[in-house]
A and B are shown apart, each in its own frame.
Chain A
């Protein structure tokens, strides 16, 4: 191994949920997952519902503990640590969720939404000043601070959620399906924003998605999960150009693309 520890080191992680069914079997959300994310990397974790990708992202955030295996951040195991020990980790790793409307408290003004992480982590800054700065960094006007989340469009809400994550100046941004709930045109805006923020703030990015198309522009490497197993891992170009696993191929083939399929099928029936 290299001398500088990876940002994230996931070693043999499994997560088994006991079920209460009469048969008493348990459900494995993740099985023996091993990968690492190095400093400055942008890694995509791709998988569909039931792939275990959300469980994995919660483990990276130390909000859930693996049943076996370890998750380390800069060489230190984070799973199972007390919140007191995680204080520094909480500042360094931030998350953006899929649905900004449900990840922003409906009863808080944007100012409070953005100031909350600063207060929780006891970061000493001029709150108003920092909020203005954060809004500016996601290209939102300062007047937004006095409003509530529901007064904004989906794309603007996601900008607010991103601003909140940037508040504590994290090293790592975990983005859990941040554009899936958005229109295609807004998706592009948010992806552009994320990519410029990653560049400007030297963030390490972990981008969780079910859609191969959206990770392509943002991520340098890809991990593919299928029903709790890590089925493929590699650089983005390798995975796109020569996917090894059938499932990866299916994911790539399934994505809709611009093509006039029908025009090829039947020619000029319109006059009839």
Chain B
């Protein structure tokens, strides 16, 4: 049984369906990357999993942790799980941290809530946690306030706080997007190492396939609130089948330091992501797709082959993939 099981997850806001029939699993100790552009529904999916959807949004379907459906659980039960067995790291640590409280108190807070630690014990634990996320002088940092830290340090504080109760799964929503390149590298390496050490599972939400490919075992691609493709990192980057995944991959590859400059245009996806509720009927990607066929007015069924899933009427086939590598 998978650790985290998401089945037919649908998120609605008023008359709009923002996330539709999302299915994927995260096994114990596994790292799954959820990718897609802004507006693809990936952040909503992660918030729905955490049970943190905002006013006016509701989720149905199934989100199970160890077989227990969280969507039908009471808010009290969910509070017991949140931060304890499932922790979240947000994109913008400055707004996720309380500006008026010391770092040490915030890192230790989860422990006080879930393990009933005293204030003093929590502070001692916070020092240890900060040391684990590579603060050289944690005794000094526990007494500081968020504004006294750099962006990278704040994100490490968030990671320390997420790790505090030894969760079984960490959800990280664009944890390095707001950071400089060298700081991003440090935070990614840190996250990578800590997830390895603790053996917890990771659901990494990102718009950059490169970040996901370096950190994760498996990739789930979302577009228009649906999962359009999933597979192992190697499968996805070697032979993407969905035209959207392929386009994302092409862009990320071209926009990488490893790629030599061509002077030619960078591959990109034409048009832009429609607003919620304005995706076309059928396959949500069909308006922007270069492999569109008549059948695309119907939503393609999701076909599962082993570790891969795909929802496309006209997937990229092998001959083209070979062709891809030539130029």
Contact = CB atoms under 8 A, between A and B. Distances in A.
Contact of B38 (A154, A213, A216, A253): A154
Interface string A28-42: 000000000000000
A259 interface: yes
A100 B95 CA distance: 20
A6 B110 CA distance: 59
Interface stretch (A88-96, A101-109, A181-189): A181-189
Nearest to A237: B261
B267 interface: yes
B247 interface: yes
Contacts of B238: 260
Given A153-B273, A184-B255, A259-B214, A49 B180 contact: yes
Contacts of A213: 255-257
Contacts of A48: 180-183
B184 A192 contact: no
Contacts of A153: 38-39, 272-273, 275
B215 interface: yes
Interface string A244-263: 00000011111111111111
A261 B272 contact: no
A156 interface: yes
Contacts, number: 138
A188 B233 CA distance: 22
A92 B71 CA distance: 58
Contacts of A184: 207-210, 248, 251-252, 255
Contact of A192 (B211, B215, B248, B268): B268
B181 A211 contact: yes
Nearest to B37: A183
A217 B268 CA distance: 14
Given A156-B272, A185-B268, A217-B261, A270 B27 contact: yes
A212 B258 CA distance: 10
A210 interface: yes
A189, A250, A251: residue with the most chain B Cβ atoms closer than 10 Å: A189
A223 interface: no
Contacts of B261: 216-217, 236-237, 240
B237 A260 contact: yes
A196 B27 CA distance: 46
Contacts of A185: 37, 207, 247-248, 251, 268-269
B10 to A, nearest CB: 24
B94 interface: no
Given A256-B208, A258-B210, A251 B182 contact: yes
B245 to A, nearest CB: 11
Contact of A183 (B185, B188, B207, B253): B207
Given A191-B266, A253-B185, A258-B209, 20 more contacts: A49-B150, A153-B275, A154-B38, A184-B207, A184-B255, A185-B248, A186-B268, A191-B255, A192-B268, A210-B181, A213-B257, A252-B257, A254-B184, A256-B184, A257-B210, A257-B257, A258-B249, A259-B214, A262-B31, A263-B233
16 contacts: A153-B273, A184-B208, A184-B255, A185-B251, A186-B37, A187-B251, A188-B266, A196-B265, A210-B181, A213-B255, A213-B257, A217-B263, A217-B266, A256-B188, A261-B214, A270-B217
Shortest Cβ-Cβ A-B pairs, 9 listed:
A254-B185, A188-B268, A48-B180, A256-B210, A188-B266, A260-B233, A260-B234, A183-B207, A255-B257
